[in-house]
Structures are given as C-alpha cells and as structure tokens.
Amino acid sequence: MFAMKKKIAIIAALCLALATFAAVLTACGEENTTIPRYGEYFFYRDEALGGLVLEVPRSSSVASGALVLPEESWWYAETAEGEETEHAEALPVVAIASGAFEYNSKLTSVTLPEGLKQVGDRAFYSCTALTSVTINGTAVRIGKESFEYCSALSSVTGGSVAAVGERAFFACSSLGSFCAVDDNAVIGSRAFGYTGIESADDIGATGSNIAADAFGNAE
C-alpha cells in the first residue's frame, strides 16, 4: 500500500492526537518497529544524555493546544545509506532540542515528563500563547533564552530546577509562580528580568551561583 509498510513490522510509535482545543503528544509503540518522522515531531537518541531528544523541524506547523511529552518513546535513526533503522526497546525522553518550538504562537501549555533533564536554549522562545509549564522531574536544567518573551506565561509548577540559563524567562511579564529551585542552583544573568519574580527569595533560591542581575528590571 505504502512503501513505509514494507519497512514497518508493527505500525506504532509517536501519536499526535488533535482535539478541538488541545494537541497532546504521546507515545504508543510496540517492540521491533521502525519509526519514521510523524507529523511535525520526531525523536533522536543522545547517548550522552541517556535518552531521546524531541526535535521539531517546523514549529510554526505544530497544532494548537496543550503539549504533553511522553515518559518514553521509540526513536528514529538512519543508516549511512539513509535507510530507517529498527529499535529493540523504548527509551526515556530526556530533553527538548534547542529552538524546538521557538516563535510558536499556538501552544497553550506544556507538561514535561519525569525523566526530562534538559530544556534546550530557545526551546520555547517567544511562544506568546503559552500560559503554563508543568515540570514532573527534578534537577531540570533550563537553557538560555528558553522561555524568553513568553508574555502570557504565568506559572511554572511541579518538580525542581538545577539551572536556569541567561534570560531564560526574560520579559515573561505574567510570570508570578515558579517551581522549587535546588540548593545552590545556577541562575544566569537576567534569567527573571522583567517578570513578577523580583528576587531570589520569591523562588527560594539560595547559594553563590545566582547572577547579580538575575532578577529585576535594571538594564
């Protein structure tokens, strides 16, 4: 029927479910299946991080609504000849690629899985409809400018962060609620500039790794 069916023993994997007000990304795979790209999303393996990284080639085409990342999924890879490879088991989702959703004006909320370790630089840069982020893991590292200019973002709740990069939440003018911050977490320059979070006390941040200009509106 389709050429892809010749490569796929059991059709399964990443399913993008669209509803009237939400688009939820989930995993629904079976073993011994070759997984190509599905819609606007795909995962690639990062051995250093020990799992899968979500990549989005065309973020402007992502459907509107809520994004819920799965705890694990199958992974996509190619041989040197450009053929799709088969996998033996699902792997945990551990990161979001740099710039994955930047300038997306459709996402309204994001839920990160327990095993997520890293949000890449500019991953959600200027996602102007984004209102909430839920972190289910601990010691998550948030990259530089990752949520900068998300003006509707009002809350980041759930687990904890170990690092917040430079300008990570800069100009998130609606932000007033933030998740737990690990002891001695690294908080970069202007990380919370022009937000409702005006000092380290507002988020319980302590230690010597907080940039002097991490909070407040000073230029």
Q: Which of 127, 182, 176 is nearest to 155 (CA)?
A: 176
Give the model's pLDDT for residue 83.
63
Q: Contact at 8 Å (CB) between 65 and 108? A: yes
DSSP E strands: which ranges in 60-101? 65-68, 72-73, 91-96
The winner for highest mean pLDDT among 17-26, 55-64, 168-177 is 168-177
End-to-end, the C-alpha distance of the chain in Å comes to 60
pLDDT score of 24 more than 80: no
- Is residue 206 classed as helix, strand or coil in its secondary structure? coil
Q: For 10-37, what is the mean pLDDT? A: 32
Reported as a pLDDT band with limits 50, 70 and 90, residue 216 is: confident
Mean pLDDT of the chain: 80
Q: What percent of the chain is helix, strand and coil (3-state, nearest 5)?
A: 5, 35, 60
The whole-model pTM stands at: 0.79
Q: Contact at 8 Å (CB) between 15 and 40? A: no
Q: DSSP letter at 83? A: P
* Better-scored residue on pLDDT, 102 or 35: 102
For residues 112 and 134, give the distance between their C-alpha atoms in angstroms, rounded to a whole number.
Answer: 6
Rg (CA), the chain: 18
Residues contacting residue 9 through CB under 8 Å, at least 6 positions apart = 32, 33, 34, 86
pLDDT in tens, 100-139: 999 999 999 999 999 999 999 999 999 999 999 999 999 9
The winner for highest mean pLDDT among 23-27, 33-37, 46-50 is 46-50
Name the β-bridge partners of 43.
Answer: 54
Q: Which of 116, 136, 123 is nearest to 73 (CA)?
A: 116
